[in-house]
Amino acid sequence: MDARGAVEAALFASAKGLRVIDIANQTGLTEEAVRVALKSLSVEYERMGSAIKIAKIGAEFAFQLRDEYSQYSEKLSEVEIRKSVLRTAATIAYNQPLLQSELFRTLGGRVYDDVRELIELDLISGRPKGQTLELTTTKKFAEYFGIEGTSKEDIKKWIERMDKKGRNE
């Protein structure tokens, strides 16, 4: 069995990010062999100039489209989240942790429905804080939007990059 092929197949078949140990358990490879295969595949995709890359999101690895190719997939994929909900999600992500009461003052009453939808999609989490919720993004948020990193800083930089890119188009 080719270790690179086995790792590539595991990533391709998974709908979510996988930890090294998950890939090792699935393929029967050692964790070290998985790490070597991930690095080799990543270099190979880069060398080929592929639209696909292997992204590390927290402790997990997943296939993602490179930013410069995402515009082509958007035309083919269904929009799952309404624009108003995306605006709410972006506001939360950029300013996190953010109190829902502050979000209400900024965006108005529709935020309650937007927040409920985002929590149901597991893109944000809400922790009780007094009589409101303190809102933050989840790991799934980073995965969903293809952000390489889950920290507040990684997400904020990604939003700024996307905003700048949008203004330049």
Q: What is the pLDDT of residue 67?
A: 76
Q: Between the CA of residue 96 and those of 82, 113, 131, 133, 135, what are the distances in Å?
A: 21, 18, 18, 12, 7
Residue 47: predicted pLDDT: 93
Q: Which tokens is 167 given? A: 């203004």
The reported pLDDT for the residue numbered 111 is 86
Taking only the tens of pLDDT, the chain with its 169 residues reads 699 999 999 988 887 788 999 999 999 999 999 999 999 999 999 999 999 999 888 788 888 888 787 777 655 555 477 888 888 998 999 889 999 999 888 888 888 899 998 998 889 999 999 999 999 999 888 888 878 777 888 888 888 887 776 666 5
Taking the chain, what is the end-to-end CA distance rounded to the nearest angstrom? 45
CB burial of residue 32 (10 Å; 0-12, 13-18, 19+): exposed
Span(s) in the chain for CATH 1.10.10.10: 3-71, 78-169
Q: Which residue in the block uniquely carries the two structure tokens 């029967």? A: 28
* Region at 59 (left for phi over 0; alpha for psi -120 to 50; beta for the rest): alpha
Domain 78-169 has CATH 1.10.8.420: no
Q: Give the pLDDT score at 126.
A: 92
For domain 3-71, the question of CATH label 2.40.50.180 is answered with no
Per-residue pLDDT at 168: 64
Pairing of strands 60-65, 98-99: unpaired
Q: Closest Cα partner for 145 from 106, 99, 94?
A: 94
Evaluate whether 24 touches 30 at the Cβ level (below 8 Å). yes
pLDDT at 66: 83
Asked if residues 58 and 139 have their Cβ atoms less than 8 Å apart, the reply is: yes
